[in-house]
Amino acid sequence: MTFAFPAFHEHILPGAHTVEAVEAAMRKAGWQDIRRHGSTVIAKVGLNLFSFGETVAITLAPGHAVFRSTCILATQCLDWGKNRRNIDTLLAALRA
């Protein structure tokens, strides 16, 4: 859990991944509004007990991927571990 405005969690995963695999994992996680912007895939995670929702962005680069989950509300400085759980959920869906 980081203390930042807005709260976020970032994870770098080595290895090659495809945009299609990332989009499929996001759909499997039940996330909405999945959009592709070049080598970045963005999804919205809805309102929950821990925040007003999050934006999850995965940027694919040669040899690695950067996973970042950020609270939608710019003034939210604590996420109570929700952004980390978003990344863990996505990683589990990618591995399945």
> What is the Cα–Cα distance from 49 to 27, expressed in whole angstroms?
21
- Multiple choice CATH, 8-95, 3.30.530.50, 1.10.10.10, 1.20.1740.10, 3.20.20.150: 3.30.530.50
What are the φ/ψ torsions at residue 93 (nearest 5 degrees)? -70, -35
Per-residue model confidence (pLDDT) at position 4: 77
Confidence of residue 1 (pLDDT cuts 50, 70, 90): low
Per-residue model confidence (pLDDT) at position 2: 64
Domain extents in the chain: 8-95
DSSP output for 49-72: SSSS-EEEEEEEETTEEEEEEEES
pLDDT tens, position by position, 67-94:
999 999 999 998 889 999 999 999 999 9
Handedness of CA 91, 84, 28, 31 (dihedral sign): negative
**Section 20-36 average pLDDT:** 94
Say yes or no to pLDDT of 49 above 90. Answer: no
Higher pLDDT, 5 or 57: 57
Say yes or no to pLDDT of 22 above 80. Answer: yes
Q: Within the chain, how many helices (H) and strands (E) appear? A: 2, 5
Q: State the pTM of this model.
A: 0.90
